[in-house]
Amino acid sequence: MRIHDAACPACSGVVPCKGGGNMRCYKRNPHAAHIALILDSYGGVRTIVADRKSFKANVRHDEFFHVVPGLIVHEPIAWGDIPIVIERARLEFEKWLDTRPNLDEDMYQAVVLYRLRQQRHHSARETFNPFEIAET
């Protein structure tokens, strides 16, 4: 049980936090957050949920990010909804890449590495082994 779950009228300490999607959750952030996917220069991707002002703090100078259009959420994200958020961001990123025929050289290289990683890991549901990716 996390701290303050017992006082929350939505969670009442019995189940894990239901997240910001529940209007009664007292941990709910009243400001809307956006979902973005960040592509690094090695073809790795990560999903973030934040407000638009803090995107700049999450992206390095050699990374590219894509905001999922038309989708806003309220933090915290419920534990059971995290895989859905990640998969939705990945699908939107795939659609975005399909509509970009002319990429600059840096982004093209990152997309090629991303596609190679997708072929290596045939499915998003496959077990992730970081030692297979990070070989030195």
CA 134-60-97 angle, 5° bins: 75
* pLDDT of 123 strictly over 60: no
Round to whole Å and give the CA distance between 60 and 57: 8
The arithmetic mean of pLDDT across residues 30-40, rounded, is: 87
Sorting pLDDT into bands at 50, 70 and 90, what band is 129? low
> Which residues sit opposite 73 in a β-bridge?
33
Least confident of 25-29, 90-94, 120-124: 120-124
The arithmetic mean of pLDDT across residues 36-47, rounded, is: 89
Mean per-residue pLDDT over the chain, rounded:
78
Same domain membership, residue 114 and residue 86: yes
Same domain membership, residue 56 and residue 12: no
Same domain membership, residue 8 and residue 67: no
Structural domain count of the chain? 2
Taking only the tens place, the pLDDT of each residue in 49-86 is 988 888 888 888 888 888 998 888 888 887 778 888 88
H or E stretch including 35?
Answer: strand 33-39
* Amino acid code (one letter) for 128: F
Same domain membership, residue 2 and residue 40: no
